[in-house]
Chain A
């Protein structure tokens, strides 16, 4: 696609429910990142994919968070048993994965509100 696409753009869920957030990176980009941006906070790194593998999962805040990527393209971030503190904007980004200097392109984010 022309840009990084994320869905849903907005999600309101009840505490304790599971949610899935989807990211469709730029076509051909092998590197994919998930970040979390809480109100008034900076960007918190969650996970990085190179192709389908995730060499770095160190940013996932708890075992309720998981992510997968299939076919080297679309990625899904799953939050189980959501808590109010999970409310944030979840940003997905991608880059070519070939050069360190390559630009990382961001989607517009998925706004998650847990009530």
Chain B
């Protein structure tokens, strides 16, 4: 069975500081990996996805994530946080079937001025 672990339900950074949101998955095969963002009172929006074309994936709003097979990780980073990045971020994985799209429990990012 697939599972996704996001370490840290809340992360707080200062504006301009590095953002690092952690995601680890368990899978017997390399999965498809996604990061979504949810702004307050809105639906989920795709930030980026890993499709095996490249291990470093660039997404919208300056975010990127690196797939590390040896660590079964897909951590999300942004070099410099902006106030508008405050939101909840979800990591998701999908194996070789359409049936389920597994989400982590989410990490709320707070950006301090």
Contacts and interface: CB of A to CB of B under 8 A. Distances in A.
Contacts, number: 54
A103 B43 contact: no
B49 A108 contact: no
A25 interface: no
Interface residues of A, number: 25
Max chain A Cβ within 10 angstroms of own Cβ: one of B45, B103, B104: B103
A56 interface: yes
22 contacts: A31-B98, A35-B103, A42-B90, A42-B103, A42-B105, A42-B106, A43-B90, A45-B103, A48-B98, A48-B99, A48-B100, A50-B98, A56-B100, A91-B44, A93-B44, A95-B98, A100-B94, A100-B97, A101-B49, A104-B101, A106-B44, A109-B43
